[in-house]
Amino acid sequence: MTSEVVENEFEFYSKAEKYWKDVPATVGGMLGGYGHISSIDINSSRKFLQRFLRDGPNRTGTTRALDCGAGIGRITKRLLLPLFKTVDMVDVTEDFLTKAKSYLGEEGRRVRNYFCCGLQDFSPEPNSYDVIWIQWVIGHLTDNHLADFLKRCRAGLRPNGIVVIKDNMAQEGVIMDDVDSSVCRDLDVVRKIIRRAGLHLLAEERQENFPDEIYHVYTFAMR
């Protein structure tokens, strides 16, 4: 539980904001120096997502997606814009969203909104999104704030919409990273928070072909 490792909530959030302000607005910066894994990550995410976008009565729509913790728009550019008509981006670091406008190029015209906000304070517009994609950012929320944010995401989904979390998973318990002021939770803790938010897991997958020295990464789809 984050309550056991986060001593001061205000400090937890403000220290993270300060950390990201000093990170270069590049793909390498977004991936902590692991820019070379970006294509592996995107290709796996595309395969995972496309199973929900295929034909069928419960098919997830492709009208609008939300990229949470979007940074400069790496996921928006390579995963979401090729699959969805429009995308919204939300990130706590204004410089990243400014950089995104040039990084995304011509296709960036289909980004409707750039929201500069921490996810603990952000509410997706109700009944608006086919997919809400949350990658490598849940560690910057306390358990309570993550559960509350996921509840707001659930309200933000269109019919047959899904919420996707893709993130690092600890082997056991909750581990604090003092450098970027984030936590890494184990699978059981994440699943409990998902259930607490009233969401049901539809699929869960471990990322393959990532470097051995980094945390295991899992992707969850839920609604």
What is the Cα–Cα distance from 75 to 66, expressed in whole angstroms?
10
The answer to whether 91 is a known ligand-binding residue is: yes
Report d(CA 206, CA 220) in Å as an integer. 9
Asked if 63 and 158 count as a contact pair (C-beta separation under 8 A), the reply is yes
Looking only at the bridges linking them, the beta strands covering 86-91 and 111-116 are parallel
Residue 171 assigned as binding residue: no
207 in a labelled binding site: no
Nearest to 122 by CA among 112, 109, 111, 113: 113
The answer on whether 74 is annotated among ligand-binding residues is: yes
**118 marked among binding-site residues:** no
Residues 209 and 44: their CA atoms lie apart, in Å, by 10
**78 belongs to an annotated ligand binding site:** no
- List the binding residues for S-adenosyl-L-methionine: 69, 74, 91-93, 119-120, 135
- List the binding residues: 69, 74, 91-93, 119-120, 135
